[in-house]
Chains A and B, each alone.
Chain A
Amino acid sequence: MPRLPLAPPPLPDEAISSWIARIAARYDLSTDALVQNLLPNETDNAEMARRIDVCACKPLEDTLAVVAGVPIASFARQRLAGLAANPHTAWPRRNPVWCPLCAAQDVAAFKEVYFRQEWGFGGYLMCSQHRCLLIASCPICLHQVEHRPLNGRLRLWCQHCEKCADAALPSRLTPFWPYGTPQQHRRCITIRLSNEDAVSLLLQVQSDLLAALDGTWPRTAWARGLKRHGLFSILRALSFVMLGPLWEHAYRFLPRYGGFAPAWSLPDDWTPGSLPPEVAAPALLASVTFLAAENRVRLHGVTWNPRLLFPGESDLIRAETLVWHLSATDAEWVRRLFGSPVVRPFALLLAALRSNLCGRGAMREGARRRQGAGGAERRIRESEWRRGAETAEARVARQRSEQEKPPAERFAISRFIEGYPSSSRPRLSRAQVEAPFAVYAALGLDSPADVVPPDFDGTLLGDRYIRLWLARHKHLPAQALTATLVAALETARSRACGLVLPELSATTPATPATSAMTR
């Protein structure tokens, strides 16, 4: 095979696939056509060209070395270390992404674009030089973009705008995802990183991930709790969980079992690399922030979905945000995930899940699943239902009450966070809530002390029925409660029926036994 007359040498930080595409562009060909030309006798040309960034393809590399006059040893340098492993440990990207500013620079300098090695790694979401998120769609119209050889040079072409997409600057629009879905159908929260802290956090995380690919263990706070080989798989699973609502479509095609949806499962080949950066970034940031919170490190300055955050803390993601966000199936997922031996026990999250499985998000999710509708359908049905069920004033009142509820009362997990604003309700002292403890002690059911928050109100103890009964009667003396409970338990046991606890009035004890005891 003779040398190609026009074969530009690879640039120092260029990915191999980009280099092949640039050579092909010299002849107004696509990458596949060029590879087909170079290796007419091979059968899996397209596959080879697609995978050459990730793994070595001997026949293609040999031919390229001859045809372009490049030493074979240079191919290893052009490849990002560590990506060759399976997608569980590394995240190869499927669709091209690029930094709009880098692309504009390249066009000015070389009259064409080229793709950096790091852009092929799914954990690289932000250009470290320009400090802006990478993009995966046309910055003007947000439609998909293709590589096109234009006048012998490789450019990014937007078919919708009918012009090159690489010279445009990053847009002020926030793209939504999946691409092409109208705004009201979108299910994914995208990120706009305006806060300087968030940018530096994301940069830190991605440089840590790149180093980890290379074999260097990150020393930053968020990774402290993880075991060495668990880093990528944990982050992958956690990001998947964070994106829970996104998988509604996939979910709708799954078979149903007895009216209940099966748990979502993480596909083997799914990685954050299959998401566009503006979607992957919040998921990754949320995961990292969560891991950091777990290590008792607070990372400030991350903008996520403001609806899910508290007023005054609009740019912070915390562990409770995650719990709030989780549905029952996601919670199950997280429990399974963090129950695995590779992770340090996530006491915080587990406690939260144990205590309060039904966040508002989970309820909504549950309703959606029961009705079997997703997205727009569900929203329409819900709004119709609401419109029929409640008057305008009631709706306004409901919305206001939702908004005005003090943050501390929104869900229970917030109480675990140090320095969290306390509830507006007066705190109960230990002495005031002595009764339930005494009851439990008498029954031999020791209360789990580690999950009792400082402003314990009795909701976290044992069986839900007993717990509620105790909470209702906590003003009564302990002996009375214990006696009633013991009696009820014995009755239940002797008659082999369900436990029935009597209602005790505040002033007059209902049963003579208890009144005798108080006396």
Chain B
Amino acid sequence: MLDVETRIARLHAERWIAHTAATQILETLQEAFTQRRSERMENVLLIAESGMGKTSLIRKFERTNAADVDPVSGVGPRPVVVMLMPEEPNEDAFFVQLLKAIDAPFDLSSRRHRLALRETTFRILRELDTRVLVIDELNSLLVGTARQQRLFLQLLRFISNELRIALVCTCVPEARRALLSDPQLRSRFSDLELPPWKADAELQAFINLLAQGLPLRSPSPIDSAKIRRLLIERSGGITLIVCRALERAGEVAIRNGQERIDLASLADPTIWRGMRPTSTRFGRSRSVGLP
């Protein structure tokens, strides 16, 4: 029997739960991964509210397509490279971030030419046989001026053409308009949406799986419409908040010996402390269509 602290540590561990929407998105991403290299690659724009699990999804995609190191040539192929968008749409910052993402050392002091960093990065990506470049948090694009944004979108298009790799960008719905303002780029991106949860059977399946994964000793009676409504009302349908609420409830259940989560424990306002659905975003994301 594990003691309380170990179980709580295990409760907070990261887990991957394959719900329907995520599986569909992963399939689309895999499609982008397996497409033939060409001048015009099919790119994916993944749009979801903050906290919907975009990053976990992408990490899952990266893990699925990981490759082993070739001991003869010493090349550790990276078919999928996941990078974080720098805080500003700036070319140099972008390439530094990209080199960091593939664990490559770089030296900013000895750069001879402005393009040296770019050429080095391109060559390394070619040698690593990269097929998909994932840019997380593309919404940082929005902090730049219009000119900076335009330059950066141009850069994205250039990377895709030059390296013949597919781009997968994730962003919050606000960034979609900025990204798709470039007509050439718009025609190459297919956008996918990970919508917030609704109080339906999918949410039920998701929280069932989630509760089963928790290290509780007795089964949790959470299969009810009331609980679904409660969760949606309090979380606004954001995955992160739902998960955190269930984890907190689970921790409470372990500590007080109840060993299960039920409506009463979920309704307790203390487990929802600090978590609030952003009401402005809720509802608006549906009204935003393609420009």
Beta-carbon contact of B107 and A6 below 8 Å: no
Least Cβ distance of B207 to chain A in Å?
A: 35
Closest to A36 in B: B107
Hey, which chain A residues are within 8 Å of B71, CB to CB?
A: 9, 69
Hey, which chain A residues are within 8 Å of B107, CB to CB?
A: 29-30, 33, 36-37
Residue B183, interface by CB 8 Å: no
Residue A184, interface by CB 8 Å: no
Residue A247, interface by CB 8 Å: no
Least Cβ distance of B162 to chain A in Å?
A: 16
Hey, which chain A residues are within 8 Å of B127, CB to CB?
A: 6, 26, 152
* Complex interface: stretch among B3-11, B116-124, B241-249: B116-124
Residue A113, interface by CB 8 Å: no
- A38-B105 contact given A5-B76, A5-B78, CB 8 Å threshold: yes
List CB contacts (< 8 Å) of B94-110 with chain A. Answer: 102-107, 109-110
Beta-carbon contact of A4 and B110 below 8 Å: no
Hey, which chain A residues are within 8 Å of B110, CB to CB?
A: 29-30, 33
Least Cβ distance of B77 to chain A in Å?
A: 8
Hey, which chain A residues are within 8 Å of B78, CB to CB?
A: 5
Beta-carbon contact of A37 and B105 below 8 Å: yes
Beta-carbon contact of B106 and A9 below 8 Å: no
Hey, which chain B residues are within 8 Å of A6, CB to CB?
A: 74-76, 104, 124, 127-128
Least Cβ distance of A351 to chain B in Å?
A: 60
Q: Which applies to chain B's interface (DSSP): helix, strand, loop or mixed?
A: loop
- A5-B104 contact given A28-B116, A69-B69, CB 8 Å threshold: yes
Hey, which chain A residues are within 8 Å of B106, CB to CB?
A: 27, 29, 37
Hey, which chain A residues are within 8 Å of B123, CB to CB?
A: 151-152
Least Cβ distance of A267 to chain B in Å?
A: 33
Residue B256, interface by CB 8 Å: no
Counting chain B residues whose Cβ lies within 8 A of the other chain, the interface size class is 20 to 34
Give Cα A38–Cα B123 distance, bound, in whole angstroms.
21
Beta-carbon contact of A4 and B124 below 8 Å: no
Counting chain A residues whose Cβ lies within 8 A of the other chain, the interface size class is 20 to 34
Beta-carbon contact of B74 and A33 below 8 Å: no
Hey, which chain B residues are within 8 Å of A5, CB to CB?
A: 75-76, 78, 102-104, 124, 128
Hey, which chain A residues are within 8 Å of B69, CB to CB?
A: 3, 69
- A9-B74 contact given A28-B116, A30-B110, A33-B110, CB 8 Å threshold: yes
Residue A454, interface by CB 8 Å: no
A26: contacting residue among B72, B103, B109, B124, CB under 8 A? B124
Residue A34, interface by CB 8 Å: yes
Closest to A1 in B: B103
Hey, which chain B residues are within 8 Å of A152, CB to CB?
A: 120, 123-124, 127
Least Cβ distance of B105 to chain A in Å?
A: 4
- A4-B128 contact given A27-B120, A30-B110, A69-B69, CB 8 Å threshold: no
Give Cα A37–Cα B110 distance, bound, in whole angstroms.
13
List CB contacts (< 8 Å) of B65-102 with chain A. Answer: 69, 71-76, 78, 102
Per-residue contact bits, chain A 55-91, to B (CB 8 Å; 1 contact, 0 not): 0000000000000110000000000000000000000
Give Cα A30–Cα B107 distance, bound, in whole angstroms.
9
Least Cβ distance of A61 to chain B in Å?
A: 17
Beta-carbon contact of A27 and B104 below 8 Å: yes
Closest to A70 in B: B74
Hey, which chain A residues are within 8 Å of B72, CB to CB?
A: 9
Give Cα A401–Cα B276 distance, bound, in whole angstroms.
110
A29: contacting residue among B102, B103, B105, B128, CB under 8 A? B105
The 18 listed contacts between A and B (C-beta, < 8 Å) are: A4-B104, A4-B105, A5-B102, A5-B128, A6-B75, A8-B74, A9-B71, A9-B74, A27-B105, A27-B106, A27-B124, A28-B116, A29-B106, A29-B110, A36-B107, A69-B74, A152-B123, A152-B124
> Known contacts A4-B76, A7-B74, A24-B105; can you find 10 more A-B pairs with CB under 8 A?
A3-B103, A4-B105, A6-B75, A6-B127, A7-B76, A8-B74, A9-B74, A27-B104, A27-B120, A28-B116
User: Which positions in A face B, CB cutoff 8 Å?
Assistant: 2-9, 24, 26-30, 33-34, 36-38, 68-69, 151-152
What are the 5 tightest A-B residue pairs by CB atom distance, in nearest-first order? Answer: A37-B105, A33-B107, A8-B74, A2-B103, A28-B120
